[in-house]
């Protein structure tokens, strides 16, 4: 055994003793929390107050239990040795025994762990050594050291291949892994940035934007109890992507993050898809103005009103109705809530009219009596009251007998009044508002003056078509819901948006609505934008909501795609994002290959390529990425036996060991901005890329 190996074995054994102690403590904590939870659940509760208190305590313990259970895999992964001899072990969560000053394990998000990520040979931050531990099934498999103070390795320092290289070389599984043990300094700086507002992270494909976004979500939960208490939401572009990243946060011990798409956020299940040009139209912010205008047009647009009250008809003129409308609008409430203000104001006006009527009727009677008997009824009543020792009284107010409150209460419950109010200020549903805009060309013309008639025609559908909502309708329904019923109840303390370049102006409004504190992490790359997005940079996307109040970071190192693959995309990148500097890849691999097949033999050519690849690299995760229209044919040819079959429109954010991009020209032609779809497709592989172009069929 070489000295290096003997040293390594000894270090592994030493670390094992510590790791065993850490797992022992984890087991102890688990036993304690399980027992506490069982006690709480068994404890008697008398009355609703105690039941509630018991539920709160049980939920708190259940969360702690989930956290401890989730930390099993890779509980300890690092260690830092200070120049002063202090040693800290870094892991998924913090663990401390009663008697010790230093914790047995430091949570990776704690300030004390920062040097593990940020120290460099230039800025060692007081460290002598950073050690990575590879632990599987509670056994230490390897250790690997970096010396940071410029000293030469001595016995006990195991300087070998970096753990980052190991993580990047690992076979892809179709599910993203946490990178908590190997977060790089530029990524870590963003993850634990103290910035409370909106952090934007951009960078080319594979620069770790998703890694940063998910680790930042975990960091916010740890470091900002305020945001954590109000919940953290992670939004991704589609179900395939969410599935890909679904393991990362639980493996970081965080199970309380809501992971979803913009479409699913509202509970509406989109049942139809529509052409991307229509979806893009629906994404424009003009739609927000249109919906607001439409709702306003349903709020007492003009004219007077006749209300039947018992046997009487009360006529309110346009000014009365307009005053009620103004009061309701000035309340700032959503349409259905402001309706009550409108109704109350109208009823006040009706009561005032009834009172005026009563006064006039009394005056009329007085005048008739005076004319026929010569008697002044008011003066007589006043004299009688004075004689009885009263001072003036009811006769001073001719309508004093009119009980306005009783009349008002009667009117609130009156069906005629309710009908009259409904005709002026109808109760609305979000669905009815959106349908009115999308099915009535006159309404669309009135509400969307900035759209051309062709654009409006593409937007509207027949009123007879069955009502089935699309993804692009969801933000419209959400907007309408806010207009008619008020802001959503479920808001979040922090929102993370991945592939944020994909969001339309209407989707950004949905996101902002759910984050009143404006604490967000947004990651994306406009060179990878799909055809529906309505912005071409961050200022356009965020300016309407934040002005320039966002901190922008750019990641520059590519961790996924090999240098060889990235180089072949430089020309394409220069066309789709002329100002963008290509990222610098830290990986090398085979040169990409290009094949050609005619349409008749295309599927066979793809299968042949996959067969060859799987014989040469049996363990690799492969994908065939093609224009959406080719998916059916390739599936029929049995491609899925060898590879994941991914339509180019759903490839964003995904990663494979090898990818076969079928029909690059077809991908480009399939939808507007198709070159960006091709750029996404070409940058998914960590090891090898093969493109199969479709040649003109000689036949």
Annotated binding site for ATP: 203-210
8 A C-beta contact, residue 40 and residue 54: yes
Cα diameter, the chain? 133
8 A C-beta contact, residue 451 and residue 281: yes
The footprint of ligand ATP on residues 134-173 (CB under 6 A) is 164, 167-168
Using rule CB under 6 A, residue 184 touches ligand ATP: yes
- The site for ligand ATP, by CB under 6 A, has a size of 23
Q: 3-state secondary structure string, 131-175?
A: EEEEEECCEEEEEEEEECCCCCCCCCCCCCCCHHHHHHHCCCCCC
Q: Report, in Å, the least distance between residue 501 CB and ligand ATP.
A: 9
Q: How far is CA 473 from the centre of its chain?
A: 17
Nearer to ligand ATP by Cβ, of 362 and 681: the residue is 681
Nearer to ligand ATP by Cβ, of 61 and 213: the residue is 213
The DSSP element (H or E) to which 243 belongs, if any, is: helix 239-245
SS3 of the chain: helix, strand, coil, percent, to 5:
50, 15, 35
Task: Please state whether beta strands 87-91 and 76-82 pair in parallel, antiparallel, or not at all (unpaired).
Answer: antiparallel
8 A C-beta contact, residue 553 and residue 652: no
The footprint of ligand ATP on residues 597-656 (CB under 6 A) is 653, 655
Among the residue ranges 97-105, 129-137, 201-209, 216-224, the one whose residues contact ligand ATP (CB under 6 A) = 201-209
Contacts by residues 356-365 (CB-CB < 8 Å, ≥ 24 positions apart): 357/312, 357/314, 358/398, 358/399, 358/401, 358/402, 359/398, 359/399, 362/398, 362/399, 363/398
Nearer to ligand ATP by Cβ, of 282 and 560: the residue is 560
Tell me the CA distances in angstroms from 644 to 534, 605, 631, one per residue in order. Answer: 30, 16, 11
Using rule CB under 6 A, residue 663 touches ligand ATP: no
8 A C-beta contact, residue 622 and residue 609: no
Q: Report, in Å, the least distance between residue 568 CB and ligand ATP.
A: 16
Using rule CB under 6 A, residue 199 touches ligand ATP: no
Region at 404 (left for phi over 0; alpha for psi -120 to 50; beta for the rest): alpha
Among the residue ranges 122-130, 183-191, 223-231, 401-409, the one whose residues contact ligand ATP (CB under 6 A) = 183-191
Region at 541 (left for phi over 0; alpha for psi -120 to 50; beta for the rest): alpha
Tell me the CA distances in angstroms from 556 to 422, 497, 583, one per residue in order. Answer: 59, 20, 5
**Backbone phi, psi, residue 539, to 5°:** -65, -40
Q: Please tell me the number of Cα atoms within 13 Å of 352 on its side-chain side.
A: 9
Give the integer Cα–Cα distance in Å for 678 and 666.
9
Using rule CB under 6 A, residue 210 touches ligand ATP: yes
Nearer to ligand ATP by Cβ, of 187 and 199: the residue is 187
Query: Two tokens at 472?
Result: 């692009």
Which DSSP string do the residues of 483-552 spell out, in sequence order? HHH-S-S---SEEEESSGGG--HHHHHHHHHT-TT--EEEEE-GGG--SS---SSHHHHHHHHHTT-EEE
**Burial class of 61 by CB neighbour count within 10 A (0 to 12, 13 to 18, 19+):** buried
Give the integer Cα–Cα distance in Å for 698 and 598.
8
Nearer to ligand ATP by Cβ, of 184 and 224: the residue is 184
Which DSSP string do the residues of 354-366 spell out, in sequence order? HHHHHHHHHHHHH
The footprint of ligand ATP on residues 548-577 (CB under 6 A) is 559-560
Q: Report, in Å, the least distance between residue 244 CB and ligand ATP.
A: 9
Q: Report, in Å, the least distance between residue 176 CB and ligand ATP.
A: 6
Indicate which single residue of 11, 144, 182, 507 sits in contact with ligand ATP (rule: CB under 6 A).
182
Give the integer Cα–Cα distance in Å for 118 and 618.
38
Give the integer Cα–Cα distance in Å for 114 and 331.
50
Q: Report, in Å, the least distance between residue 291 CB and ligand ATP.
A: 32
Nearer to ligand ATP by Cβ, of 647 and 653: the residue is 653
Contacts by residues 301-307 (CB-CB < 8 Å, ≥ 24 positions apart): 305/346, 305/420, 305/424, 306/420, 307/346, 307/350, 307/416, 307/417, 307/420
Query: Two tokens at 301?
Result: 């647009």
Using rule CB under 6 A, residue 207 touches ligand ATP: yes
Using rule CB under 6 A, residue 238 touches ligand ATP: no
Using rule CB under 6 A, residue 183 touches ligand ATP: yes
Indicate which single residue of 70, 208, 475, 592 sits in contact with ligand ATP (rule: CB under 6 A).
208
8 A C-beta contact, residue 545 and residue 514: no
Q: Report, in Å, the least distance between residue 187 CB and ligand ATP.
A: 6
Query: Two tokens at 89?
Result: 């072990």
Nearer to ligand ATP by Cβ, of 182 and 199: the residue is 182
Which residues make up each annotated binding site?
203-210
Q: Which of these, 239, 347, 339, 241, lies nearest to 295 by C-alpha position?
A: 339
Indicate which single residue of 205, 237, 592, 647 sits in contact with ligand ATP (rule: CB under 6 A).
205
The number of beta carbons lying within 10 Å of the beta carbon of residue 210 is 24
Q: Report, in Å, the least distance between residue 582 CB and ligand ATP.
A: 13
**Backbone phi, psi, residue 26, to 5°:** -60, -45
Q: Which residues pair with 232 in a beta bridge?
A: 257, 494
The footprint of ligand ATP on residues 506-535 (CB under 6 A) is 525, 528
List residues near ligand ATP by CB under 6 A: 164, 167-168, 176, 179, 182-184, 187, 203, 205-211, 525, 528, 559-560, 653, 655
């Amino acid at each position: 055994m070489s000295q290096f190996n003997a040293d390594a074995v000894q270090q592994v054994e030493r670390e094992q003793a510590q790791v065993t102690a850490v797992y022992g403590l984890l087991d102890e904590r688990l036993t304690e929390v399980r027992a506490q939870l069982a006690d709480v659940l068994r404890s008697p509760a008398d009355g609703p107050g105690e039941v509630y208190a018991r539920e709160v305590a049980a939920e708190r313990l259940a969360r702690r239990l989930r956290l401890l259970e989730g930390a099993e895999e890779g509980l300890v992964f690092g260690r830092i040795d200070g120049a002063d001899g202090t040693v800290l072990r870094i892991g998924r969560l913090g663990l401390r025994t009663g008697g010790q000053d230093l914790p047995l394990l430091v949570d990776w998000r704690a300030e004390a762990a920062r040097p593990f990520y940020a120290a460099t040979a230039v800025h060692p931050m007081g460290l002598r050594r950073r050690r990575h531990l590879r632990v599987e099934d509670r056994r230490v498999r390897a250790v690997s050291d970096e010396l940071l103070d410029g000293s030469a390795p001595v016995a006990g320092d195991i300087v070998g291949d970096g753990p980052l290289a190991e993580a990047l070389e690992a076979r892809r599984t179709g599910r993203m892994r946490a990178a908590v043990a190997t977060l790089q300094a530029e990524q870590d700086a963003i993850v634990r940035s103290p910035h409370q507002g909106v952090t934007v992270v951009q960078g080319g494909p594979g620069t770790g934007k998703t890694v940063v976004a998910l680790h930042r979500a975990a960091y916010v939960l740890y470091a900002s109890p305020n945001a954590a208490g109000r919940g953290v939401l992670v939004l991704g572009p589609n179900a395939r992507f969410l599935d890909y990243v679904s393991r990362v946060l639980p493996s970081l011990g965080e199970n309380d993050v809501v992971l979803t798409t913009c479409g699913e956020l509202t509970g509406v299940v989109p049942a139809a898809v529509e052409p991307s040009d229509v979806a893009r139209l629906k994404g424009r912010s003009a739609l927000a103005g249109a919906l607001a205008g439409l709702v306003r047009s349903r709020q007492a647009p003009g004219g007077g009103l006749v209300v039947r009250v018992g046997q009487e008809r009360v006529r309110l003129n346009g000014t009365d109705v307009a005053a009620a409308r103004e009061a309701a609008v000035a309340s700032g409430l959503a349409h259905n809530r402001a309706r009550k203000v409108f109704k109350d104001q109208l009823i006040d006006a009706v009561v005032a009219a009834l009172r005026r009527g009563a006064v006039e009727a009394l005056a009329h009677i007085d005048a008739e009596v005076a004319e026929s008997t010569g008697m002044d009824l008011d003066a007589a009543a006043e004299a009688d009251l004075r004689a009885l020792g009263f001072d003036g009284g009811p006769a001073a107010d001719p309508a004093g007998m009119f009980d306005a409150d009783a009349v008002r209460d009667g009117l609130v419950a009156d069906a005629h009044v309710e009908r009259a109010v409904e005709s002026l200020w109808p109760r609305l549903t979000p669905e009815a508002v959106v349908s009115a805009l999308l099915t009535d060309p006159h309404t669309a013309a009135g509400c969307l003056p900035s759209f051309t008639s062709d654009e409006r025609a593409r937007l509207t559908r027949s009123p007879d078509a069955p009502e089935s909502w699309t993804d692009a309708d969801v933000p419209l329904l959400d907007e309408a819901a806010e207009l008619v019923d008020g802001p959503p109840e479920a808001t979040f303390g922090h929102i993370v948006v991945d592939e944020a370049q994909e969001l339309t102006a209407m989707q950004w409004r949905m996101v902002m609505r759910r984050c009143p504190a404006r604490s967000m992490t947004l990651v994306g790359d406009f060179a990878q934008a799909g055809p529906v997005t309505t912005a071409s940079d961050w200022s356009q996307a965020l300016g309407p909501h934040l002005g320039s109040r966002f901190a922008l970071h750019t990641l520059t190192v590519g961790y996924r795609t090999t240098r060889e693959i990235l180089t072949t995309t430089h020309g394409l990148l220069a066309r789709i994002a002329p100002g963008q500097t290509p990222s610098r890849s830290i990986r090398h691999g085979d040169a990409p290959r290009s094949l050609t097949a005619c349409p008749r033999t295309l599927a066979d050519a793809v299968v042949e390529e996959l067969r060859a690849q799987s014989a040469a690299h049996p363990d690799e995760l492969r994908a065939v990425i093609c224009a959406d229209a080719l998916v059916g044919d390739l599936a029929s040819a049995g491609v899925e036996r060898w590879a994941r079959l991914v339509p180019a429109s759903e490839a964003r954010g995904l990663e494979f060991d090898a990818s076969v991009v079928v029909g690059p020209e077809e991908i480009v032609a399939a939808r507007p901005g198709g070159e960006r779809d091709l750029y996404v497709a070409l940058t998914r592989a960590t090891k090898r890329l093969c493109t199969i172009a479709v040649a003109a069929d000689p036949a």
